[in-house]
């Protein structure tokens, strides 16, 4: 019988559409998750949306940034992993009267022509540096894996992968094989990926090519969503 090794990963982030309570939106659910993982003696990986923390460091230090850092360090103390997750829209979002207003710059390519550090290499360098600083001595390796916000790795795959590699990222987990999504904001097409469960993506792309060097893709396990599931999910969100 073929064995399948599963890595349990969770995106550690605020809801994109707004959040009335940071505690309810991120800290309490994550606390319950960490406690359950500890009880079951299961190691988990939290892909931490570091750009939110970078902005809340000045927006709301005590209300968000401090508990964010404390929870990350708590997870590390129990031998769980913290890895890099980037939602770049935080960098040009607004925060007024205790409420944040997400910008439309949801993908890294929106920053392609920006001036450093608000371009793709600068954002990745700053984000990785900030997360590694928070992780500090609690991790043996620092952040070495990445998940794109919104599973985004395209367009400008070559710039994204090269910048990730330059900043110590050796693994990616953003690809859902067979997944296709298009909106006014982004397009992700993972329909023609290699048959292998994992493969090495060359730094100059494309995502479905294989190489002996580059970033190792560890795909996200998935199954097709039924119409009932989609309607139920929308209902619960409302």
Mean pLDDT of 161-169: 98
Residue 140 has pLDDT above 90, yes or no: no
Both tokens assigned to 151: 């599973």
Q: Would you call 150 exposed, middle or buried from its count of C-beta atoms within 10 A (0-12, 13-18, 19+)?
A: buried
What is the reported pLDDT for 4?
A: 81
Residue 237 has pLDDT above 70, yes or no: no
Residue 238 has pLDDT above 60, yes or no: no
Q: Sorting pLDDT into bands at 50, 70 and 90, what band is 234?
A: low
Question: 8-237, what's its fold?
Answer: TIM Barrel (3.20.20)
Domain ranges of the chain: 8-237
Mean pLDDT of 48-70: 97
For residues 214 and 201, is the Cβ–Cβ distance under 8 A? yes
Both tokens assigned to 5: 């090794």
What is the rounded distance in angstroms from the CA atom of residue 68 to the CA atom of residue 59? Answer: 13
């Amino acid at each position: 019988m073929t064995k399948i090794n599963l890595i349990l990963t969770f995106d550690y982030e605020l809801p994109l559409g707004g959040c009335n309570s940071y505690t309810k939106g991120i800290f309490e659910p994550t606390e319950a998750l960490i406690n359950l993982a500890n009880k079951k003696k299961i190691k988990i990986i939290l892909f931490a949306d570091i750009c939110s923390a970078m902005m809340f460091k000045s927006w709301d230090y005590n209300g968000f940034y401090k508990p964010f850092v404390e929870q990350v360090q708590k997870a590390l103390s129990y031998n769980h992993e913290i890895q890099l997750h980037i939602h770049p829209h935080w960098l040009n979002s607004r925060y007024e009267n205790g409420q944040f207003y997400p910008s439309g710059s949801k993908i890294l390519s929106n920053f392609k022509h920006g001036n450093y550090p608000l371009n793709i290499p600068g954002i990745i360098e700053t984000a990785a540096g900030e997360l590694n600083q928070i992780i500090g001595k609690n991790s043996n390796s620092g952040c070495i894996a990445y998940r794109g916000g919104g599973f985004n790795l395209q367009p400008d795959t070559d710039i994204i992968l090269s910048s990730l590699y330059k900043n110590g990222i050796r693994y990616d987990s953003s690809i859902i094989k067979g997944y296709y999504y298009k909106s006014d904001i982004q397009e992700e097409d993972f329909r023609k990926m290699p048959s292998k469960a994992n493969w090495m993506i060359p730094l100059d792309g494309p995502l479905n090519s294989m190489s002996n060097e580059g970033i190792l893709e560890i795909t996200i396990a998935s199954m097709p969503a039924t119409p009932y599931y989609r309607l139920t999910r929308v209902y619960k969100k409302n």
